[in-house]
Chains A and B, each alone.
Chain A
Amino acid sequence: DAKTTQPPSMDCAEGRAANLPCNHSTISGNEYVYWYRQIHSQGPQYIIHGLKNNETNEMASLIITEDRKSSTLILPHATLRDTAVYYCIVRVNNAGNMLTFGGGTRLMVKP
């Protein structure tokens, strides 16, 4: 699976949009971009995933650049409960289905 690069930490003001970047410059054509988050020591929570089109669900939006070398997870109106470590993972779309977690981005939402 391709490696990803994320900033180790970010701050965001409550109520503002949180934009979390991820670089995956070696991504291949059949790899999806997945985002998970982990709040404190809870189990990782699935947020969203995409291949090349932008995606949106009730939690977040995922913007993938046209060359697919980077993406941005957008939390439109961050709340204190969004404080967590956010993991960007790229994953081959077939066998060997484990998730490879990097260091992630620690997002701190401040009042």
Chain B
Amino acid sequence: DSGVTQTPKHLITATGQRVTLRCSPRSGDLSVYWYQQSLDQGLQFLIQYYNGEERAKGNILERFSAQQFPDLHSELNLSSLELGDSALYFCASSTTGASDTQYFGPGTRLTVL
């Protein structure tokens, strides 16, 4: 158990819908990262937040957005969902957001029908 929690575990929805994925970092960690893992793309970095501020952005679609709240939990919002958004979404956290180790949560499996 890494100490990072993600909810829900599974999510099934329809095209065009909007969903919110939630992540709670390890106690004391200030930085949260979101990754997407699809069958054809592997694990890809989406976005990083550090202490409430966006720090780095990867290949995140404009239909996707994220935020980190004062209690340091983070939410990833996916809108206008397409079939290709079906994937595993992982959250990771680290202490400072610099070179320290990232610890991953169990993931949310999103299925878009």
Residue from B43, B45, B88, B94 having most chain A Cβ neighbours under 10 A: B43
Contact A46 B98 (CB under 8 A): no
Contact B98 A99 (CB under 8 A): no
* Chain A 39-59 per-residue mask, 1 if CB under 8 angstroms from chain B, else 0: 001111110010000000000
Residue of B nearest to A43 (CB): B104
Question: Across the interface, which residues of B come within 8 angstroms of A91, CB to CB?
Answer: 99
Question: Across the interface, which residues of A come within 8 angstroms of B48, CB to CB?
Answer: 97-98
Give Cα A98–Cα B48 distance, bound, in whole angstroms: 8
Question: Which A residues between 76 and 103 are near B, CB-CB below 8 angstroms?
Answer: 87, 91-103
Partner of B94, one of A36, A42, A97, A103: A97
Contact B97 A43 (CB under 8 A): no
Contact A43 B107 (CB under 8 A): yes
Contact B99 A94 (CB under 8 A): yes
Give Cα A100–Cα B42 distance, bound, in whole angstroms: 10
* Chain B 13-43 per-residue mask, 1 if CB under 8 angstroms from chain A, else 0: 0000000000000000001010101000011
Q: Name 17 A/B residue pairs within 8 A (Cβ), A-sorted.
A: A34-B101, A41-B109, A43-B90, A44-B43, A45-B2, A49-B101, A93-B98, A93-B99, A95-B55, A95-B56, A96-B56, A97-B98, A97-B99, A97-B102, A98-B45, A99-B33, A103-B42
